[in-house]
């Protein structure tokens, strides 16, 4: 089966359902006719419809006692992002320890456990990377996501749980609040490149990711990881130029040398902590915008039948239109 869709009536659990990825995946599975249970920290944010909602998160094992049915497939989309004021201990509890704790609580076990990780586990790259590239994560977010993968796969070796790892690249789309700041900065002409915008990102539109995650469940091989990305990696400059064109402002020209940007980010992070406000620039963002995060999706194409269908220009225009319709670009 390579359609990227589960059979109707499939009993599924989606964790992290109040997040961008989990919310969109749950909606797609409902449309398909699956019986969907979601685990989320803020259920009031969900358009529940026919979804069964369980309040909780991966850092709270008691949450798992509230499930009232076995599941055919589990999609673990929960994760704690490495925002400027999130502690390493908090990320360890959710990203590293939470997935394996959940897996051990599932009885009977599902026929497939899809764990949504991140391509960032590789760390910055020197060239186009695939799933076999050595992992050198930078920072606690990437490190704890890699630890989550490894703990799950170790558990699967002993228990036989069929675990499939999905590694999304730079995901964006309508409703994504985490990329909104980038779009706003470009719109307000307040964006500056780092290192000339020569960093490499691999944009992935949310609809393509949702299809790819489902393919992991229906065609993925247990114990394997699959990189899910858009049609091709692009430079940061190309990405930002597409945003500027979509919001109808001049393409940015200002650029900061990488060392200067890192120094500025260090100072702004300190000021942000003193003022208890998120800084406009962080060291992790400087790293993201100045490094190479470009990947090969050949394995997902050949083994899953995965094929991204939304090109960058179309995806950016659709995202901008949704932000504007929601009044978020002011």
State the pLDDT at residue 47.
63
Count the Cβ atoms, other than its own, within 10 Å of residue 269. 18
State the pLDDT at residue 284.
86
DSSP assignment letter at 125: -
Residue 281 lies in a domain: no
Question: What's the pLDDT tens digit per position in 45-81?
Answer: 666 578 888 888 888 888 888 787 789 999 999 988 8
Contact 167, 228 (CB under 8 A): yes
Question: What's the pLDDT tens digit per position in 228-275?
Answer: 999 999 999 999 999 999 999 999 999 999 999 999 999 998 998 888
Residue 319 lies in a domain: no
Residue 213 lies in a domain: yes
State the pLDDT at residue 227.
98
Please give the structure tokens belonging to residue 247.
């919001």
Residue 284 lies in a domain: no
Q: How far apart, in whole angstroms, are the C-alpha atoms of residue 186 and residue 235?
A: 16
Residue 322 lies in a domain: no
Residue 240 lies in a domain: no
Closest by Cα among 129, 261, 135, 133 to 200: 129
CATH code, domain with 147 = 3.40.50.720
Domain region containing 146 = 11-176+202-230+295-309
State the pLDDT at residue 293.
94
Task: Provide the number of structural domains found in the chain.
Answer: 1
DSSP assignment letter at 122: G
Residue 282 lies in a domain: no
Residue 244 lies in a domain: no
State the pLDDT at residue 87.
85
Which residue is associated with the tokens 């969900």?
A: 46
State the pLDDT at residue 1.
32
Handedness of CA 222, 225, 228, 232 (dihedral sign): negative
State the pLDDT at residue 4.
55
**Ranges under pLDDT 50 in the chain:** 1-3
Query: What does pTM read for this prediction?
Result: 0.93
Contact 96, 155 (CB under 8 A): no
Q: Tell me the helix, strand and coil percentages in the chain, rounded to 5.
A: 45, 15, 40
């Amino acid at each position: 089966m390579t359609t990227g869709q589960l059979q109707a009536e499939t009993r599924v659990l989606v964790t992290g359902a109040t997040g961008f990825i989990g919310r969109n995946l749950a909606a797609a599975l409902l449309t398909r006719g699956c019986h969907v249970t979601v685990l989320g920290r803020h259920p009031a944010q969900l358009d529940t419809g026919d979804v069964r909602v369980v309040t909780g998160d991966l850092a709270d094992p008691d949450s798992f006692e509230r499930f009232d049915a076995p599941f055919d497939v589990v999609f673990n989309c929960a994760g704690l992002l490495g925002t400027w004021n999130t502690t390493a201990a908090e990320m360890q509890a959710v990203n590293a320890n939470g997935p394996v704790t959940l897996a051990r609580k599932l009885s009977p076990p599902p026929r497939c456990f899809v764990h949504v990780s991140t391509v960032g586990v590789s760390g910055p790259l020197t060239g186009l990377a695939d799933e076999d590239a050595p992992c050198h994560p930078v920072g606690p977010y990437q490190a704890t996501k890699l630890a989550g993968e490894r703990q799950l796969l170790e558990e699967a070796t002993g228990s036989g749980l069929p675990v499939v790892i999905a590694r999304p690249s730079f995901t964006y789309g309508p409703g994504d609040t985490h990329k909104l700041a980038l779009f706003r900065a470009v719109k307000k002409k307040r964006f500056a490149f780092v290192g000339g915008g020569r960093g490499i990102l691999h944009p992935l539109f949310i609809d393509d990711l949702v299809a790819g995650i489902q393919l992991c469940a229906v065609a993925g091989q247990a114990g394997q990881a699959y990189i899910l990305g858009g049609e091709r990696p692009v430079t940061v400059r190309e990405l930002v130029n597409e945003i500027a064109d979509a919001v109808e402002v001049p393409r940015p020209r200002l650029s900061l040398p990488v060392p200067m940007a890192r120094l500025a980010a260090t100072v702004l992070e300190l000021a942000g902590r003193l003022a208890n406000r998120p800084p406009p620039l962080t060291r992790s963002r400087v790293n993201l915008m100045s490094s190479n995060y470009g990947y090969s999706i050949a394995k997902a194409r050949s083994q899953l039948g995965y094929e991204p269908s939304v090109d960058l220009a179309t995806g950016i225009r659709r995202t901008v239109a949704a932000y504007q319709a929601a009044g978020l670009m002011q």
